[in-house]
Chain A
Amino acid sequence: MEYVSPIDERTSAPVPFAVRPPALTGKRVVLLDITKARGAEFLDRLEELLIARGAETFRISKELFSKPASTEVIEAVAFHGDLAVEGLAD
């Protein structure tokens, strides 16, 4: 039987993970705060640990946690970082 699919097949293609670096020394790590409650506390502690391991950090925030990041934020993450960590939930 032939059916009309409700699905846009382009959304089904898997997106592979980026290659993980072997070490953090000298890497620029962007810490993205999505502005969920207490997310900044989590990122504060993570930043301490990253710096202790030789990484450089760059902090940035989304305008609102429930909306996609703006193009400016995405571009800033790409510009300032080799890696990014997103503080996701409260």
Chain B
Amino acid sequence: MAAASDFTLPTIAGPPLALRDMLAEGPVVLVFAHADCPTSVLALRRVAAAGEGARVVGVLEDSPEDAARVARRTGFPYPVLAQPEPYDVSRAFAIETVPTAVLVQPDGSVADTVVGWDAAGYERLLGVALDGEPRLKPGCMARWTFDWHAGGLDELDDMFERGWSDGLPVVPPTSDRVEAMLGGRDPARSLGAVPPAHGEATFERVAACAVLAGCRPHYFPVVVAAVEAALDPAFNAHGIAVTTQPAGPIVVVNGPARERIGLNAGMGALGPGTRANATIGRALRLVLTLTGGARAGGLDRATLGHPGKLTCCFAENEEASPWQPLHVERGFGSETSTVTLVAGDAPLSISDHRSRTPEELAATLAWAAAGQWSPFWWPMDDTSLYVICPEHAALFAAAGWSKERVREAMFEAVQRPAEELRRGETTPLVKESPYGTMVRKWTSPERIVIVVAGGEAGRFSAVFGPCNGMQAQVVTKEVRWST
């Protein structure tokens, strides 16, 4: 058996402890862990719940303050040692994963090792029953393995270890970056509690999310407006966060902010390729995920989700639109910058290069949504967000059609007899309607929200899927540039 190296480390409450002194009283189980590893916290909590009796010592790759905090949070009743950088004790024991429990015999030999959380393994080491789930959980990388000073993994991996990510690499939110993002704003000012876990969206946390997302500091007012919109009760962020549906927030920016921060309303507006679009939508998602606790597979219960939940933000191409832009339609001045949130899921592209009349084009656009939510779910009492491309908008404009007329025509175009819809997931209205009753796809034309975006060439519009049953209203907030 391998021999354990002797060491002396500071404790969180009392004088330093040496391994040889601990071993003088009998075998010891060393539990290597660190504060940013959920499995470590789980192991410490479960060992703590087993009650005192075994000879256990926590060896945490943390500052004494952080180690004390973890011990307090987990109720860990045993001695806790704080191991500073460069984590020589972990290196000496070749601990690559935390938690790792090591049984050291009085003669210094290592008799047994358990890597990660393995309830049966801990029962073996401690000689006690450890009931409850989970029985197994993989651990995290020990800190010395991603100590960038030592040439190991870098700070980007550190972000993943902390769980501060949406699955893609992020920009580490250093104090300097967050301060720059805040731009002199009060870091403690709160925008409110973020559902579903109700973490408080202080400016500082929102700024941290904006840094993580890759925002430039002058995007921050737009991010703040997006968070304000999401926290408006009318948006029902709680329902959207926890639903099994794939829906998430769609961010539409109007007004001078578009040019001021370089948002793309033109070619490829829905992505990819523009930093402002990609990072503002991502920042909002990170606020919901990290501050709000809506982690996929955790409180976010989406069965599938969709790629647009990573980020979904674009600007309206007001210059290519023959109509009032969305924010003016919703009561704001044309020179006011706004963020509008719509709850919805993935966009469906609608090609129409053949229609020559506004009636034909309205029908094409409208029928594309006929299968939304579920093919037999008529009428739909939810928002369908249409992104009309400039060429389609121009066809309507040439015929003198207002946005209202387009909306009415689309609403009237999509009708089917109730008896054709009495299959699968259908509505009470369809079930109860007499034979021959015509049912529309939407409950009213107001359910159709229209914006213009995209490049000047190509006749591809799109419609975002709905968020059903949430009573999630469209919410618009003004972007405030000053603090």
181-226 of chain B: CB within 8 A of chain A: 195, 197-200, 204-205, 207-209, 211-212
Interface string of A1-42 (1 = CB under 8 A from B): 111111110110110000000000000000000000000000
**A45: interface (CB < 8 Å):** no
Contact B243 A66 (CB under 8 A): yes
Contact B204 A64 (CB under 8 A): no
> CA–CA, A14 to B49, complex, Å?
13
Contact of A4 with B471 at beta-carbon distance under 8 Å, contacts A11-B198, A11-B293, A66-B238 already known: no
**A68: interface (CB < 8 Å):** yes
65-79 of chain A: CB within 8 A of chain B: 65-68
> CA–CA, A4 to B182, complex, Å?
12
Contact A4 B199 (CB under 8 A): no
Contact A8 B291 (CB under 8 A): yes
**Smallest Cβ-Cβ distance to A65: which chain B residue:** B469
**Smallest Cβ-Cβ distance to B73: which chain A residue:** A13
Interface string of B128-153 (1 = CB under 8 A from A): 00000000000000000000000000
Residue A7 contacts which of B172, B174, B205 (CB distance < 8 angstroms)? B205
> CA–CA, A41 to B239, complex, Å?
23
Contact of A66 with B286 at beta-carbon distance under 8 Å, contacts A4-B208, A5-B205, A11-B293 already known: no
Contact B238 A68 (CB under 8 A): yes
> CA–CA, A64 to B381, complex, Å?
15
**Smallest Cβ-Cβ distance to B195: which chain A residue:** A68
Contact A3 B172 (CB under 8 A): yes
A65: which B residues are within 8 A, CB to CB?
469
Interface string of B237-263 (1 = CB under 8 A from A): 011000110000000000000000000
Interface string of B441-483 (1 = CB under 8 A from A): 0000000000000000000000000000111000000000000
Residue A6 contacts which of B45, B198, B212 (CB distance < 8 angstroms)? B212
> CA–CA, A5 to B175, complex, Å?
10
> CA–CA, A6 to B202, complex, Å?
9
Contact B205 A67 (CB under 8 A): no
Residue B199 contacts which of A3, A10, A64 (CB distance < 8 angstroms)? A10
Interface string of B68-84 (1 = CB under 8 A from A): 00000100000000000
> CA–CA, A3 to B41, complex, Å?
20
B469: which A residues are within 8 A, CB to CB?
65-66
**Smallest Cβ-Cβ distance to B202: which chain A residue:** A8
A67: which B residues are within 8 A, CB to CB?
236, 238-239, 471
Contact B243 A4 (CB under 8 A): no
Residue B173 contacts which of A4, A64, A68, A89 (CB distance < 8 angstroms)? A4
A10: which B residues are within 8 A, CB to CB?
199-200
> CA–CA, A68 to B175, complex, Å?
35
Additional pairs, 16, CB under 8 Å, beyond known A3-B208, A11-B197, A66-B471: A1-B155, A1-B172, A4-B174, A4-B204, A4-B205, A5-B173, A5-B208, A6-B205, A6-B291, A10-B200, A11-B198, A13-B73, A67-B238, A67-B471, A68-B238, A89-B244
Please give me the 10 A-B residue pairs with the lowest Cβ-Cβ distance, nearest first. A66-B239, A8-B199, A11-B197, A6-B208, A6-B290, A4-B178, A4-B208, A11-B199, A66-B470, A6-B209
Interface residues of B (CB under 8 A from A): 45, 73, 155, 158, 162, 164, 172-175, 178, 195, 197-200, 204-205, 207-209, 211-212, 236, 238-239, 243-244, 286-287, 290-291, 293, 469-471
